[in-house]
Amino acid sequence: MSIVVTGATGHLGRHVVEQLLEKVPADRITAVVRTPEKAADFAERGVKIAVADYNTPETFDGLFAAGDKVLLVSGNEFDKGRVGQHTVVIEAAKAAGVALLAYTSAPGSLTAALADDHRGTEAALTTSGVPYVLLRNGWYHENYTENLAPTLEHSAVVAAAGEGRVSSASRADYAAAAVAVLTGEGHENQTYELGGDEAWSFAEYAAELSRQTGKEIAYNAVSAEAMKGILGGTGMPAPFVDILVGVDASIAKGELAVSSGDLSRLAGRPTTPFSEAIAAALKG
């Protein structure tokens, strides 16, 4: 029996494999990647490498075995029909008779267009007959901390999120929840709503940045239309602009404030405070 991680060299998948290596022998882990060179460090440590692509269904033929536990990390090709991509993996898992398929989804409360592919994938998975886990991951600290340069340059946090609050957590936190499910028992057919222990507002985010940098950084709450113009002016593709502005609208409505406590319970520890993630990014 293997623990199989798709998208294993992506931002989240890499954290999952690293944490699995702390808990299970390397030869029980299979990293599914599109570019094996990116997984060379895993291969050197004894992790099995499988090359497959969501867009090429036949590459998943025979990849899984009966009894495997699989983590399907959602794809990031928003223009490629993600439900179809994910269904390729679900059908291969069903054909193999895997013991569990966990999927990284989005909060059940999220109504933004970003969630549509996740809801479609959830429907395909929950009706497939494969024992499943829905890991409904909330927002990531890194969505903000990995791109602090414009914020610091303009001394402003700009968002169309009003006074909405975000229960973000680090990728490592969400990875810990996935690892707990993949290495534990009794998670079959469960849905977990995952988010950080402490929700924050964008005004609080700006205040924390001000405190840590010693600069006066304001929160500029703008309209959705203004935000579209700002993001579009950076050269970001229009479909992606619409996704991000839609997420801000959902934040304003409270849809990314997750209070279940599922993430810290699964991880077995408190989630990473946003302030710590900011500090790490500033040291960068």
Q: Where are the domains of the chain?
A: 3-138+170-194+258-271
pLDDT confidence of residue 174: 98
Half-sphere CA count of 74, side-chain side, radius 13 A: 23
Helix boundaries (H) for the chain: 11-21, 40-44, 82-96, 116-126, 142-145, 149-154, 171-183, 202-213, 224-232, 238-252, 262-267, 274-283
pLDDT confidence of residue 80: 65
Sheet strand arrangement including 3-5: 48-51, 29-33, 3-5, 69-72, 100-105, 132-137, 190-194
pLDDT confidence of residue 76: 80
pLDDT confidence of residue 81: 85
> What is the three-class DSSP state of 61?
coil
Per-residue confidence of the chain (284 residues) as pLDDT tens digits? 899 999 999 999 999 999 999 999 999 999 999 999 999 999 999 999 999 999 999 999 999 999 999 999 998 876 668 999 999 999 999 999 999 999 999 999 999 998 999 999 999 999 999 999 999 999 999 999 998 999 999 999 999 999 999 999 999 999 999 999 999 999 999 999 999 999 999 999 999 999 999 999 999 999 999 999 999 998 999 988 999 999 999 999 999 999 999 999 999 999 999 999 999 999 97
Cα separation, 118 vs 106, in Å, equals: 6
**Which pTM was predicted?**
0.96
CATH class of the domain defined by 3-138+170-194+258-271: alpha beta
pLDDT confidence of residue 207: 98
